[in-house]
């Protein structure tokens, strides 16, 4: 069994979601996870399972949009031999396989109405019967459902049962789109770069510099984390961030004629991040995370992050980084004349040589 993807995120909404997960994982109350496609609804469901006392038991997923009604019903509840044409032998359904574990109902908004009624009955009674059977089975599953649709709208349209909605929606976890939490982007980039570089060791892909990170943080990511993840995977083959950006769809709401800087600003403005209840505006938030990500591994869990973080260590890393750049800058200006550079930098010649060796600064080879 592959280990579940860790829930990466350092933005305020993601930290709140992580906190909520640790609280509700022990309760096993029904949960409804909402959010656009690719925001990480399944990752959240897996984290809930991993943190619960059901983690040793199964996490079973079923996509309610992927199967026609009759197949979905037999997948959920199982069937007896001869229950329908083609039912050559008895088969257990997901409700049985997920017993004492988690049943993750993905795309619940697409479940047909007749199956919604049956689902409601199971949730109320804790019992179900496989197709073609007159026997009732007790089930103890923790139901976590997810959707990218507005179920309230579907209730109004009478395509989703209100009573089922209230059964499922005991706890709601709404995951904001990635464009509304750009502070998570450096950590996600770091995590997926590390992951794919270990899978593609021959790749020449490099970490994004600050300009590229700025572009990544201001892009609108219509496909959310899945799209970002796919870009990084593609980077392993293309080895060029420019090529990745060339292939990104342009924001339909932004005029193509504007400069990329204008587009970035427009996207920021349209991202809803300037709302009064957000702790910092989008621009400063993403800039801050970008700077921090240069010195701190944001791809770890927040507990590990807080363990590792140390102002003293960061101060040293940051000052070394700036010192190295300044030394190279001055040496380049004076044609790599070290005595002149030492004078300009107001350090002894010996100190400069020591720093050059410490930072591995060497004159260019001609």
Q: Which residue ranges make up the site for ligand ATP (CB under 6 A)?
A: 5, 7-9, 35, 37-43, 106, 146, 148, 225-226, 229
| 131 vs 76: CA distance, rounded Å | 10
Smallest distance, Å, CB 82 to ligand ATP? Answer: 35
Q: How far is the CB of 227 from ligand ATP (least distance, A)?
A: 9
Six-digit token pair at 175? Answer: 């995951």
Residue at shortest CB range from ligand ATP: 40
CB 93, min distance to ligand ATP, A: 21
Q: Which two tokens stand for residue 41?
A: 């609804």
SS3 225: helix
5 Cβ contact list (under 8 Å, min separation 6): 43, 46
Query: Measured from the CB of residue 175, what is the shortest distance to ligand ATP in angstroms?
Result: 7
CB nearer to ligand ATP: give 11 or 139: 11
What secondary structure letter does DSSP report for 106?
A: E
Q: Shortest Cβ distance from residue 46 to ligand ATP (Å)?
A: 8
CB 308 within 8 A of CB 297: yes
Classify 10 as helix, strand or coil. coil
| 206 CB-near residues (< 8 Å, 6+ apart) | 239, 241
Which 3-state string (H, E, C) describes 145-171? EEECCCHHHHHHCCCCCHHHHHHHCCE
Q: Which is nearer to ligand ATP, 191 or 241 (CB)?
A: 191
| CB nearer ligand ATP, residue 189 or residue 341 | 189
Closer to ligand ATP at the Cβ: 64 or 330? 64
C-alpha torsion sign, points 118, 121, 127, 133: negative
Q: Which is nearer to ligand ATP, 95 or 221 (CB)?
A: 221
Of residues 305, 225, 182, the one with CA closest to residue 42: 225
- Least distance from ligand ATP to the Cβ atom of residue 8, Å: 3
The two tokens of residue 118 are 């049956």
**Residue closer to ligand ATP, measured from CB, 163 or 174:** 174
Residue 107 beta carbon to ligand ATP: minimum distance, rounded to whole angstroms = 7
CA distance 79 to 90: 6
Residue 228 CA to residue 216 CA, distance in Å, equals 9
Q: Could you tell me which residues are beta bridge partners of residue 143?
A: 103
Shortest Å, Cβ 50 to ligand ATP: 13
- C-beta of 131: minimal distance to ligand ATP in Å? 27
How far is the C-alpha of 283 from the C-alpha of 268, rounded, in Å? Answer: 7
Picking from 284, 218, 226, 225, the residue whose alpha carbon sits closest to that of residue 251 is 218
Q: Looking at beta carbons only, is 90 or 195 nearer to ligand ATP?
A: 195
Closer residue to ligand ATP (CB): 298 or 352: 298
Which CB sits closer to ligand ATP, 78 or 186?
A: 186
């Amino acid at each position: 069994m592959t280990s579940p993807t860790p829930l990466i995120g350092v933005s305020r909404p993601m930290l709140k979601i992580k906190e909520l997960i640790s609280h509700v994982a022990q309760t096993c109350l029904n949960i409804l996870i909402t959010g656009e496609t690719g925001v990480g609804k399944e990752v959240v469901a897996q984290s809930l399972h991993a943190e619960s006392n059901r983690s040793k038991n199964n996490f079973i997923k079923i996509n309610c949009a992927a199967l026609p009604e009759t197949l979905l019903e037999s997948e959920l509840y199982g069937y007896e031999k001869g229950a329908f044409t083609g039912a050559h032998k008895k088969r257990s359904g997901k409700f049985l396989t997920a017993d004492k574990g988690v049943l993750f109902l993905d795309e619940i908004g697409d479940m047909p109405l007749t199956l919604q009624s049956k689902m409601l009955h199971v949730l109320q009674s804790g019992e179900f019967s496989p197709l073609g059977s007159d026997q009732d089975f007790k089930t103890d599953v923790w139901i976590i459902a997810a959707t990218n649709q507005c179920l309230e709208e579907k209730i109004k349209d009478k395509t989703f049962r209100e009573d089922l909605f209230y059964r499922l929606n005991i706890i709601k976890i709404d995951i904001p789109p990635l464009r509304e939490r750009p502070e998570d982007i450096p950590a996600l980039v770091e995590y997926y770069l590390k992951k794919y570089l270990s899978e593609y060791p021959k790749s020449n892909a490099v970490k994004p510099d600050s300009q590229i990170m700025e572009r990544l943080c201001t892009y609108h990511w219509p496909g959310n984390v899945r799209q970002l993840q796919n870009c990084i995977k593609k980077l392993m083959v293309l080895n060029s961030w420019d090529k990745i950006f060339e292939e990104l769809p342009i924001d339909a709401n932004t005029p193509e004629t504007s400069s990329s800087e204008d587009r970035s600003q427009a996207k920021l403005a349209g991202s809803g991040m300037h709302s009064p209840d957000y702790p910092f505006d989008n621009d400063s938030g993403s800039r801050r995370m970008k700077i921090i990500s240069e010195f701190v591994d944001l791809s770890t869990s927040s507990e590990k992050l807080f363990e590792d973080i140390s102002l003293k260590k960061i101060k040293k890393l940051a000052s070394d980084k700036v010192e190295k750049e300044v030394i190279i800058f001055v040496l380049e200006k004076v044609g790599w004349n070290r005595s002149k550079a030492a004078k300009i930098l107001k350090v002894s010649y010996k100190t400069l040589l020591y720093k050059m060796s410490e930072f591995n600064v060497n004159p260019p080879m001609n």
